[in-house]
Amino acid sequence: MIIDIHGHYTTAPKALEAWRNRQIAAIKNPSEMPQASELSISDDELRESIEGNQLRLMRERGLDLTIFSPRASFMAHHIGDFQVSSAWAAICNELCYRISRLFPDHFIPAAMLPQSPGADPATCIPELIKCVEEYGNVAINLNPDPSGGHWNSPPLSDRHWYPIYEKMVEYDIPAMIHVSTSCNPSFHTTGAHYLNADTTAFMQCLTSDLFKDFPTLRFVIPHGGGAVPYHWGRFRGLAQEMKKPKLSDHLLNNIFFDTCVYHQPGIDLLARVIPVDNILFASEMIGAVRGIDPETGHSYDDTKRYIEAAHIDPEQRHKIYEANARRVYPRLDAALKAKGR
């Protein structure tokens, strides 16, 4: 089985974006704020949005299951207040849940949290509980920068975030550390802000003792870990200067990296530097990079091709494709075993 741990609903029907635009426009005029009940998307529309897009590519590329969450750039936690974010997150999470019910063999949901700048993360807990207990979500996406590129929230090691971590430990679910749209013109959303955030999240963990407080807490850092694997010596050296334990002891029981690295040399280096037990297969299909690589003639996000071409043995490939995901996402493993998979 091949499990893609990084999928976003980027092809949702246009009605979703239209509702969101109405919501944003009404922030300055609350009397015009749309209700969730005013958004109508049929099951047939959901099927159409998936069958010709994510599901088609999964079948073409030989992928079996995708952990599916709301579109990352659409989270836009910097827009409006907590009530705006809460209504938006609930709608997006319900759509991913409906996709998982329509295509139960191919998609399982992960939750967007209703984060908002300055809001207590504890306000996210009711949505998290609903998504795990009612929707069967196996993970959450946690935005370390709800401000949208201005980074005015405390670091991930701060007790500010502990209410979410406590719930993650209780439910035994990981968080993908994933920012959303950048509203800071200095940082392109997918080319800079995403990769900066991946690197920043890792460094925040390196400089802290977070995992002493939460030894079973698990973070997935997407996009191959940003700069981390490619500057591993720098991070090892910084840890050494700070009198921290070796990174393999200090962080790699709790931090994992995905394979959304869109060229062969990058994947080759990732697999050489990071222990295979800490690498999870992912592609972020129909996401940030959708084009065809003229050097290969294949889609940049067809990451299975890179794993197949990497110099790793079949046992290591099995870990990247399936075994590591089952271990890092225990609720996913339980759901698959319940289905005899």
Residue 328 tokens read as 């890092």
Alpha-carbon torsion angle 72, 316, 331, 196, nearest 10? -30
Task: Determine which one of 51, 60, 94, 284 is catalytic.
Answer: 284
Helix residue ranges, H only, the chain: 14-25, 43-51, 54-61, 72-75, 82-102, 125-133, 162-171, 194-206, 210-213, 232-241, 247-250, 264-273, 303-309, 314-318, 324-328, 330-338
Catalytic status, residue 284: yes
Q: How far apart, in whole angstroms, are the C-alpha atoms of residue 109 and residue 329?
A: 12
Encoded tokens for 25: 């426009």
CA distances (Å), 75 to each of 36, 142, 293, 301, 331, in order?
16, 11, 28, 22, 24
Pairing between strand 65-70 and 3-9?
parallel
Copy the structure tokens of residue 206: 């390196």
What type of residue sits at position 65? L
Please give the radius of gyration of the chain, using alpha carbons only, rounded to the nearest integer. 19
Structure tokens at 308: 């197949």
Q: Which of 284, 283, 261 is nearest to 273 (CA)?
A: 261
How far, CA to CA in Å, does 20 sit from each of 15, 149, 178? 9, 21, 20
Q: How far apart are the C-alpha atoms of 234 and 246, rounded to whole Å?
A: 13
DSSP 3-state of 79: coil
Q: Which residues are catalytic?
A: 284
